[in-house]
Amino acid sequence: MLQPVIGMPPFVDGKYRVEAVVGRGGMGAVFRARDLRLERDVAIKIVRADLVGDPDSRARFQREAQIVARLQHPAIVTVFDYGNLPDGAAFLVMEFVRGEDLRHVLKREKTLPPARTVALVAGVAAGVDAAHRAGVLHRDLKPENILLPANGTGPKVLDFGVAKMTDTAAATSGLMTHGTTIVGTPAYMAPEQLRGETLDERADVSTLWGGIVYRHRHQARGGPGRGGRTTVGRRRAAAAAGAGARPRREASDHRRLC
């Protein structure tokens, strides 16, 4: 549900009129706004100044925004514009999707029919595959980043590249492994991501299949899943125990779905 805008300037970059809050999170907030030039609704993600305020962070944000803006796929939320606010915060202007995220759907419906689950995963996998072919990793796939449009079209994946744009966020949240900053949501991270290793596309595949699909199906059967009570330490211990294992079968299944 949209909330009234409080403490937000009425315009962003002089051309987007802020109209309502869509949601708030650890990195900042998302607003619904009106593009006054093209006369269309857009979503604007405001990223906190402390995450992108220094010159290196701003340059990284700009570089990643340019890369992600080139991603064009029906299952990926399109990025239209980016920039910085006077207080040092950064913003991304994106396609506005009317609907709800997968987390809210699962909270309400508890479980999805197998056919709907397959269609959902196939749609997300297609978007992830398209991004990987363009050299872009998501790094933070989770139900909150999977949008289900109200018009019944396929799912759309949100926030490609945002985790890399703001990887200093991990330092403030204490997610460090052997001096290496790791970014993402611990309950859904791939083992190699928890270990702070260099990532490739298999990390996203592992998160989609192991973190999202398995967790959802396991909880639907009454299992404990890997919910909010799972500690970072426990996930890291499990990741360390499985060091060297790679999601090869999941990667093969992922390719077949695409």
118 versus 64: which is more confidently predicted? 118
98 versus 217: which is more confidently predicted? 98
Burial of 224 (0-12, 13-18, 19+ CB in 10 A): exposed
Rounded-to-5 percentages of helix, strand, coil across the chain: 40, 20, 40
CATH architecture of the domain 11-95 equals 2-Layer Sandwich (3.30)
Catalytic-residue membership of 253? no
Compute the mean pLDDT over every residue in the chain, rounded to the nearest whole number: 79
| pLDDT greater than 90 at residue 197 | no
Residues 94 and 78: beta-carbon distance below 8 Å = yes
* Top-confidence range, 19-28, 42-51, 89-98, 209-218: 89-98
List the beta strands (DSSP E) in 6-105: 11-12, 16-24, 28-35, 40-47, 79-84, 90-95, 99-101
**Model-level pTM?**
0.77
Q: Which two tokens stand for residue 233?
A: 């330490």
For 28-37, 122-131, 142-151, 231-240, which range has the lowest pLDDT when averaged over its residues? 231-240
Q: How far apart are CA 228 and CA 145, in angstroms?
A: 17
Q: For 104-129, give the DSSP string.
A: HHHHHHSS--HHHHHHHHHHHHHHHH
What is the band of 210 on the pLDDT scale with cuts at 50, 70, 90? Answer: confident
In which element (H, E) is residue 192 found? helix 191-194
Convert the pLDDT of each residue in 37-87 to its tens digit: 999 999 999 988 888 878 888 888 888 888 889 999 999 999 999 999 998
What is the band of 193 on the pLDDT scale with cuts at 50, 70, 90? Answer: confident
**One of 101, 129, 140, 204 is an active-site residue; which one?**
140
Average pLDDT over residues 2-12: 68
* Bridge partners of residue 176, in order along the sequence: 181
Convert the pLDDT of each residue in 79-116 to its tens digit: 999 999 998 899 999 999 999 999 999 999 888 888 99
| pLDDT greater than 60 at residue 5 | no
What is the band of 256 on the pLDDT scale with cuts at 50, 70, 90? Answer: low
Q: Which of 163, 201, 162 lies closest to 65, judged by CA?
A: 162
Q: Which two tokens stand for residue 194?
A: 């928890």
Average pLDDT over residues 211-231: 58
Count of Cβ atoms closer than 10 Å to residue 121 Cβ:
20
CATH 1.10.3720.10 is held by the domain 99-257: no
pLDDT at 112: 87
- For the chain, domain boundaries: 11-95, 99-257
pLDDT at 21: 92
CA–CA distances in Å: residue 170 to residues 68, 192, 228: 21, 16, 18
pLDDT at 147: 97
Half-sphere CA count of 33, side-chain side, radius 13 A: 30
Q: Is 15 helix (H, G, I), strand (E, B) or coil?
A: coil
* Top-confidence range, 47-56, 121-130, 181-190: 121-130
Burial of 113 (0-12, 13-18, 19+ CB in 10 A): exposed
